[in-house]
Amino acid sequence: MTLCLNGAKILLGITGGIAAYKSAELCRELTKKGANVRVVMTKGATEFITPLSMQALSGNPVHIELLDSSAEAGMGHIELAKWPDLIVIAPATANFIARYSQGLADDLLGTLLLASTSRVALVPAMNQAMWLNPLTQRNINELLRIFQKNIDIWGPQNGEQACGDVGPGRMLEAKEICSNVEGLFSCKNPPVIGKGELFGKRVIITAGPTREAVDPVRYISNHSSGKMGYALAGACRDQGAEVVLISGPCYLDCPESVQRVSVISAIEMYETVMKELNLGCDIFIASAAVADYRPLHLSDKKIKKNGEADMSIALCQNPDIVASVASTPHKPFTVGFAAETNDLIKYAAGKLKKKNLDMIIANDVSNPSIGFNSEQNEVHVITKNDQIKLERKSKSNLSIEIVNLIIKHKLSAC
């Protein structure tokens, strides 16, 4: 067995929900992978699973009380906060998420989170109505806004719940959570830029929208934020690739050690892609939302009202960047994106075949909680012989899963 988490220090926080029984299996999976696990339980969690069970599985004492006289002589809770490489809260109940988003520190787990600078992964588990409640979604979005790249939301899954309801709210299974943890560490501890499955490979990624000028002050564009493309660039870099990120207008920080080339229009993006392609490319990921059309005639002066109630602008088609890349004689492994509002799988599968792509990532942009401008996404990954749904999670974590699938399919194609 490969100990991908060998030596990783993981603090497992367990809160008071029925899904706490899954935390025992998660602890077992993490320790099997070589992680050093310490467990912190809320008092509510002890009603569902015993501290003795978690101590036996982790091999370490279980922490429950904030004011523990045996530990506090050495400021034990502060030392514990400094210890982990990663904090995983599984299950994360609606009550815990609400308290965390408000910065409350009235128990040990809340205090540790405020005192720690470690990355945090929340694994929600609750009734489907509680998860969909706007207050819970506000709390989740507030945590994502505040902590950005230092927090991940894993799940929840859709399915039948303990109360009999069916919908989103089930905690991810232990093996999937463990796989997500491995993805963060990339089988290294900690992840090392310059090594990994894509070491020595050159990856070109397009991201963000394009702007098609109508006149000096107006343009045609779309709602793409570029977050998915930027996250993919970071995930490819973490796997050791040399990454070129060709970005439309975005207000995002470029991932460290990634080369960004900024463009405005679809024509600029096309020309830049073709230029970079000639310098070598092993994998091309077209995540940009490129405008399909541009004005046929660009006015060099601001267009004025002419007194008419209506006006029309003639449009011409922009080059199809991903199809152009896929038609080159020595095409790289080519990944497209299909942002659709209906018939998602049908349209995506059609694009995969028509454009000669190796893989396409399909996402439903009609849902405002995922896709354009959101912090989370869920997608279908489609190849000629396979179709996999990746459940809703943060775009940074989703990008790790997508890159792992690209690696798997590229290796099998070689």
The residues assigned a catalytic role are 163
Q: If phi over 0 gives left and psi between -120 and 50 gives alpha, with beta otherwise, what is residue 109?
A: alpha
Q: Which amino acid is at 279?
A: L
- Is residue 289 a contact partner of residue 224, using CB atoms and an 8 Å limit? yes
Per the listing, tokens 């454009």 go with 355
Count of all residues that appear for the chain in the document: 414
Element (H, E) at 10: strand 9-14
CA 386 to chain centre: 21
Give the separation between CA 353 and CA 359, rounded to whole angstroms. Answer: 10
- Helix, strand, coil tally for the chain in percent (to 5): 35, 25, 40
Give the separation between CA 361 and CA 369, rounded to whole angstroms. Answer: 17
- Is residue 215 a contact partner of residue 295, using CB atoms and an 8 Å limit? no
Give the separation between CA 295 and CA 282, rounded to whole angstroms. Answer: 34
- Is residue 81 a contact partner of residue 115, using CB atoms and an 8 Å limit? yes
Give the separation between CA 292 and CA 304, rounded to whole angstroms. Answer: 26
Give the separation between CA 338 and CA 351, rounded to whole angstroms. Answer: 8
What 3-state DSSP class applies to 60?
coil
